[in-house]
Structure 1
Amino acid sequence: MAEPGHDILIKDTLVFLFAAGVVVPVFRYLKLPAVVGFMIAGIALGPFALGSLTGQYHWLEYVSISEPAAAAPFAELGVLFLLFLLGLEFSFEKLWGLRRAVFGAGGLQAGISALAIGGAAWLIGLSPAAAIICGLALALSSTAIVMQLLIEQKQAAQPVGRAALSVLLFQDILVAPILIFVGFVNLEAGANITAVLLEALFNGVVAILVILVIGRFGLRRMFRLAAAAGGRDFLMALTLLTVVGAAAITATAGLSLALGAFLAGLLLGETEFKHQTEVDLEPFKGILLGLFFMTVGMSLDLPSILSQPLVILGGLAALLLAKLVIGFVALRFFAGPTPMSIEAAFLLAPAGEFAFVVIAAATAIGALPAEPAGLMAAIAGLSMLLIPVLGKLGTLIAARMRGEEPAHVLEEDFSELEGHVIIAGFGRVGQAVARIIGAEEAEIVALERSAYNVARARDAGWRAFLGDAARPEILHSAGAEGASLFVVTVDDVNDAEAMVRAFHQLRPEVPIIARARDREHAARLQEAGARDVIPDAIESGLQMAGRTLHQFGYDEETVRDRLAAERDEEYRRAAT
């Protein structure tokens, strides 16, 4: 018989899966973002809605979440995966290019927001320490919800996504100083604050250096070894170790978990395993982020909100207005033009998940009274629930300000490329094709399932990545939407056909050139969508026949004519 705790865990898991598999798809069918669907489901199934009625109606225990705290560690993993995948899309060079926005816009937004909110809290009667905590807690924004919305709308790589991420990265850096300050409130008189700050700074720098050293000198070697030893199973295990391990290193130093996951993504994004890792982690990220958004919904204290609706709604409006204005000014000065700054400011105006961490820490040590803590949590939760609506509003305003002028999209990854050639299979044949068309300045993206071949190609300077070209997600990452040609050079019959079929379904108008084993295989590839098929058996036979004719003494021109005539006939037969 299962233990009582296990029964609750299993029941809560079933409730969550029901929400993820049934309730949220209904919301999506109604054109609501998945983020909103998960948060509404969390509110409805949480302890302050259906869960509060289980004493009167016992059967509601089976359709509500009994232990919201048990889901917190898994929900945190969703945030880590999100930041890790964002890191994969960037590079240290691109991150360095954002330094003005990170420290300029991020610093100005966080600093002035904290001062404004803290000053307002002090004016309404909170102690100076409690007011500062309030300002610091509500000044930050939600990395998880904002970036997930941008990814869903395919804006993460656009200027608005880069600007929002810049501010959010600076806010993640502030996690350690804010928690240290909360701890200072409870320090005994005479404690050496300078020593504590220096120790925290030292620990943070050491943690980041450790991650960078491991990533630079060991990460690629470890992934190549895992790929050579056993393929995707070992790669998945090593990926999880990389994400969680980097997050644990930064957390140990007092920095945020998300910052470590982002750094790990930056480092892995410079290897040939980037695209395969993105595709493998995407389902895990989606389901765990959904759990995170549900925990945000479950944290909304509906009785408190209903008991003081005017106070909470007034505080919510003041928070959003203040952060919207401050965020716009900071972004306009340091990040970009007015329409983009407005769009990003609307996303960053609400509070973030870190507010709950600060509130809980301050309440535990007595630095923040229970009543204002409850009001802050309610305001923070409601503001996060409004992020999708505010994001849509910001987009509409920015679009109207831009008028008919199209937004400039920066080229960030292969999904934005135009006119390039995708080569599926990068062994000897694939590299021979690449050398010839590369000499004509064709831009090439190569996909290969052998880690050894990818490593050799990368060492030779090719843009090669570990990935299965039969998977639509991989093709999208390789830029299928903008490719001008798809070349399949793999010699496996089924794999080649699957790759041709997958690409043809995505881009039926784009020519596909495929390598076939024989005439029958060529017919199958043409049926799958290949425009030109090159059977190995035909070409090998023709080359051997040509060498034989040379040995019989035929001149070069006669041999070339004989082979050309036979080639035309063989390809005609292969096409019928």
Structure 2
Amino acid sequence: MPGRPARPRTAPLMDHAASLPFLRETLLFLALVGILIPLLQRFRINQVIGFLVVGVIAGPYGSGSLVAQFPVLSVLTFPSQEGVHALADLGVIFLMFLIGLELSIPRVWELRRWVFGAGSAQVLLSGFLIAALAWMFGNKASVALVLGLVLSLSSTAVVMQLLVESRALATPVGQASFSVLMFQDVAVVPILIVVELVGRESGSGLFQKLGFQVLAALLVVVLVLALGPRLVRPLFRTFARRHQPEVFTALCLLVVLSIGGATAAAGLSMAMGAFLAGLLLAETEYRHEVEITVEPFKGLLMGLFFMSVGMEIDPREVLREPLWLTASVVGLLALKAVVAASVLKVAGLKRGQAIEAGLLLGQGGEFAFIVIGTAMAAGTLTQSIGQFMFLVVSLSLLVTPLAARLGHRVGRWIDAESLQHQHEGQESVLPRATGHVVVIGFGRVGRMLGEVLAAQAVPFIAVEHDGDRAARLREQGFPVYYGNAARIELLRKLKLDEAASLVVTMDSPSAARRVVQAAREQAPHLKIFARSHDEAHARELEAAGATRVVPEMLEAGLLLTSHALGSQGLGAGDIEGIIAAERARRSGAEVGWR
């Protein structure tokens, strides 16, 4: 129409570069994961090594360097690392969040002697020795200081991933390694400030800014730990009522990233904030459901992190200076392993355990890529030294799984007499004793069972799908967790292979059948006792794998019948025979003890 302004044209839907940045890199990564993970599992290759090697091959220094000669290789290459690094950082964040879920605030407080004692000793001794060696090789004092500080830190991502994969997080080696890594994460703040300010400001200016940043970081941590429980639990309790998985997932992501953002604003890493978020949720009844929700994100993004590390390795540079690089990597691993093993031995570990932990902590850390880049931008490190250090750290990460395996074997050989006790502890949320009872559904029947078990000091753990009920029962002291027990992932968390029995008291017939069926698949020899509504439901549960089924209506009817027969003067023996025969007839031959 005349006079009407023309409507602006919208951008075409096929403008992928604007609408979906890094789309090609994302598709390539997902394709590689779909192919790589099954192959690694089939050939029993460590996933850390597998992703690192793929990163080298598919990175800009691998197939990317041949794209000009062979354009077809561009399909299998990551030419830009910007988007890859952004997503890879999320992998470390979710890993630390899950580590926090596996621990608790009281448990971390118990480790404070190891964190601040062994952790500080390892960082200071390693940093001093590395700085002294760098200075002896002709580097300036400022350069030596930077190298000593950054190379004293180990890789939280790699070490914790290896501990989780080997189920060794709760062993003495795992707890000691975790304590050292916790202190290193805290030390990131002052180290980064020193690197940024060295050579730029006077000593008074440096220490003034350093003190301010440390105080701000400590204040944020205290606020998170003090206010977090008062906010997180009511928030989850409100949204858990809806029973919508997408809402629960969004809430998990909100908590992790918001607390991570708060710690990042205070100068700490987002990974440290994610760890604090995990600690807060570890004390709630939503712990298992959160673990299951976040686990897929962590696995994918951790793979992306290790691939991004592999992309930093230039095989041509390795070939140019093979001797110096090999000597530097071996020297770094050996020096840090000796220091860490010595510190942990003095702190109380057995000799074999200390050696195993030392070799596990010998590599450089992912934080080195940030610090070295900052030092290069500030002019503290030259381009050649910075690139050389990138390679040393990357290669040390690549060989860490092999060093960890060697350390485990050496430690086991040295401490052969105490091997059984080294790996007793698992990252378990259950009572340490085996033979526990798992109760699914904690309504009237489940609670009665739980009270009897508690009175008899029988260890048990319960799962309840009603978030409000689970919260109330937790406040009353019952070991009840919120979650959907029909999910295979949750059943695995309950360690059915170590349980004495599983008791299903759920109201929903279909849900109870799915739980029994899934539990039987997970633990073929487990005793499964289930409550049914009637005889037909009982037969379904028995067919699904229940060891014994108790029909609710049948037992109530038989009990009333026995009282009625007793009022007619029948003897107790006669009544028991009649009731047993009637129970067998109504239950069917297949319902009973298997």
TM-score, normalising length: structure 1: 0.95
Aligned residue runs from structure 1 range 95-106, under 5 A: 95-106=108-119
Aligned residue runs from structure 1 range 116-195, under 5 A: 116-189=129-202, 192-195=205-208
Q: Does 1:443 align with 2:459?
A: yes
Show the counterpart of 1:494.
Answer: 510
Show the counterpart of 1:403.
Answer: 416
Native 8 Å contact 1:363 1:370 kept in 2? yes
Query: Deviation per CA, 1:304-330, whole angstroms, max 9, x where unpaired?
Result: 222222221121121111111111101
Q: Does 1:251 align with 2:267?
A: no
Deviation (angstroms), 1:528: 1.5
From 441, 448, 470, the counterpart of 1:432: 448
Counterpart amino acid of 1:42?
Answer: G
Native 8 Å contact 1:417 1:479 kept in 2? no
Deviation (angstroms), 1:403: 2.2
Show the counterpart of 1:19.
Answer: 32
Counterpart amino acid of 1:442?
Answer: V
Task: Determine helix, strand or coil for the equivalent of 1:361.
Answer: helix
Call closer, same or farther: CA 1:6–1:411 in 2, change over 3 Å: closer
Aligned residue runs from structure 1 range 28-427, under 5 A: 28-189=41-202, 192-408=205-421, 409-410=424-425, 413-414=428-429, 417-427=433-443
Deviation (angstroms), 1:543: 4.6
C-alpha distance in structure 2 between counterparts of 1:335 and 1:305, whole Å = 39
C-alpha distance in structure 1 between counterparts of 2:487 and 2:251, whole Å = 22
Deviation (angstroms), 1:128: 0.6
From 547, 550, 556, the counterpart of 1:534: 550
Deviation (angstroms), 1:86: 0.7
Call closer, same or farther: CA 1:5–1:335 in 2, change over 3 Å: farther
TM-score, normalising length: structure 2: 0.92
Moved more, 413-422 or 438-447: 413-422
Show the counterpart of 2:473.
Answer: 457
Call closer, same or farther: CA 1:266–1:284 in 2, change over 3 Å: same
Deviation (angstroms), 1:199: 1.0
C-alpha distance in structure 2 between counterparts of 1:411 and 1:557, whole Å = 54
Task: Determine helix, strand or coil for the equivalent of 1:487.
Answer: strand
Q: Give aligned-pair identity as a percent.
A: 37
Tell me the matched-pair count: 574
Task: Determine helix, strand or coil for the equivalent of 1:541.
Answer: helix
Call closer, same or farther: CA 1:519–1:501 in 2, change over 3 Å: same
Counterpart amino acid of 1:112?
Answer: L
Deviation (angstroms), 1:405: 3.7
C-alpha distance in structure 1 between counterparts of 2:327 and 2:392, whole Å = 9
Moved more, 89-98 or 342-351: 89-98
Counterpart amino acid of 1:178?
Answer: I
Deviation (angstroms), 1:411: 6.2
Q: CA RMSD in A?
A: 2.1
Task: Determine helix, strand or coil for the equivalent of 1:447.
Answer: strand
Moved more, 89-98 or 433-442: 433-442
Deviation (angstroms), 1:189: 4.7
Deviation (angstroms), 1:493: 1.8
Deviation (angstroms), 1:440: 2.3
Deviation (angstroms), 1:573: 5.3
C-alpha distance in structure 2 between counterparts of 1:335 and 1:286, whole Å = 34
Deviation (angstroms), 1:214: 2.8
Q: Does 1:503 align with 2:519?
A: yes
C-alpha distance in structure 2 between counterparts of 1:96 and 1:247, whole Å = 21
Call closer, same or farther: CA 1:401–1:560 in 2, change over 3 Å: same
Query: Deviation per CA, 1:179-208, whole angstroms, max 9, x where unpaired?
Result: 110121253458623321221122111110
Query: Deviation per CA, 1:504-530, whole angstroms, max 9, x where unpaired?
Result: 222222211101122222112112211
C-alpha distance in structure 1 between counterparts of 2:470 and 2:570, whole Å = 38
Counterpart amino acid of 2:516?
Answer: V
Moved more, 206-215 or 363-372: 206-215
Show the counterpart of 1:472.
Answer: 488
Moved more, 299-308 or 286-295: 299-308
Call closer, same or farther: CA 1:430–1:175 in 2, change over 3 Å: same
Task: Determine helix, strand or coil for the equivalent of 2:503.
Answer: strand
Unmatched segments (≥5 aa) in structure 2: 1-13
Task: Determine helix, strand or coil for the equivalent of 2:88.
Answer: helix
C-alpha distance in structure 2 between counterparts of 1:174 and 1:372, whole Å = 23
Deviation (angstroms), 1:223: 0.7
C-alpha distance in structure 1 between counterparts of 2:201 and 2:455, whole Å = 71
Query: Deviation per CA, 1:522-545, whole angstroms, max 9, x where unpaired?
Result: 112112211110112312433554
Native 8 Å contact 2:60 2:77 kept in 1? yes
Task: Determine helix, strand or coil for the equivalent of 2:525.
Answer: coil
Moved more, 289-298 or 16-25: 16-25
Deviation (angstroms), 1:412: 5.0
